[in-house]
A and B are shown apart, each in its own frame.
Chain A
Amino acid sequence: MSKNFISSNIRVLRFHNNEMTQQQLADAVDVTRQTIVAIEKGKYSPSLELAFKIARIFDKKLEEVFNYEPLEGSK
């Protein structure tokens, strides 16, 4: 299993966005709730298109929603 270096602030952003549910976010970006769960837990790195869609929902820049944190020695 490859290690995902992408983490996200989606959970926090949902909370600050009228406590939006995972299902509401999933419906807004046209994916399943399971996909949002996997992204929040860092088990799946979304495609660039989906990442932009999520950022747009929260009216944030991509880097405000997602973080790239490679391990020491890897780039």
Chain B
Amino acid sequence: MEKLSLAEKRPIFSLLTTIITFAAYYWYVTELYIEKTLTVQTEIEFWSAVILILIPVFVVSKIILMIILTIVNAIITGEETRFDKLDEFGKLIDIKATRNFYHVFIVGFLLFLNSLAFSFNVFISFNIILFTILISAIIADLSEFYYMRSGV
């Protein structure tokens, strides 16, 4: 198997960060959820807050990942490669990966709306949207890796 380049390792590290961050965050949120006694109204508020907080958590974890990768790479190779810097090839890949993210997210969002329209189980509905965000992020990272390997 061909050795992975640094640019190809980036989406792999990003994928691992996404999964680890989500798992840790979801475990923390579930613990909180079990402890609380919620009415339908407060449960909606709780899960809405969970989703709103998840977005900056993902952003911060990705920023920390880029900083760590840049530092580790500088220590190993002695080169100052910025992992967040994209050239025209990187930007094209980023656009295509983001497009795939939105395609998956739209499907999940429609499932979320359907669950609200037909059953209105708050826990299931909001978990659908939470896992939609996770799966979309995974698809984006895998797409980036795929396009990096196979070209665009």
Q: A interface vs B, CB < 8 Å? A: 1, 4, 30-35, 37-38, 41-44, 46-47, 50
- 6 closest cross-chain pairs (CB), A and B: A43-B151, A34-B7, A35-B89, A31-B87, A44-B151, A38-B151
Query: Which of A1, A4, A34, A42 meets B89, CB within 8 Å?
Result: A34
Q: B interface vs A, CB < 8 Å? A: 5-8, 85, 87-90, 92, 148, 150-152
A1 touches B87 (CB 8 A): no
Q: What distance in Å separates the Cβ of A47 from its nearest Cβ neighbour in chain B?
A: 5
Interchain CA distance A41-B11 in the complex, whole Å: 21
Tally of contacts, chain A with chain B, CB under 8 A: 43
B89 touches A31 (CB 8 A): yes
* CB nearest neighbor in B for A46: B88
* CB nearest neighbor in B for A41: B151
Contacts of B148 in A (CB 8 A): 34
Query: Which of B87, B92, B150 meets A32, CB within 8 Å?
Result: B87
Query: Which of B6, B85, B150 meets A1, CB within 8 Å?
Result: B150
Interchain CA distance A47-B87 in the complex, whole Å: 11
A31 touches B152 (CB 8 A): no
Interchain CA distance A25-B10 in the complex, whole Å: 21
16 contacts between A and B (CB under 8 A): A1-B151, A31-B87, A32-B7, A32-B87, A33-B6, A33-B7, A34-B5, A34-B6, A34-B90, A35-B87, A35-B89, A41-B151, A43-B150, A43-B151, A44-B151, A47-B88
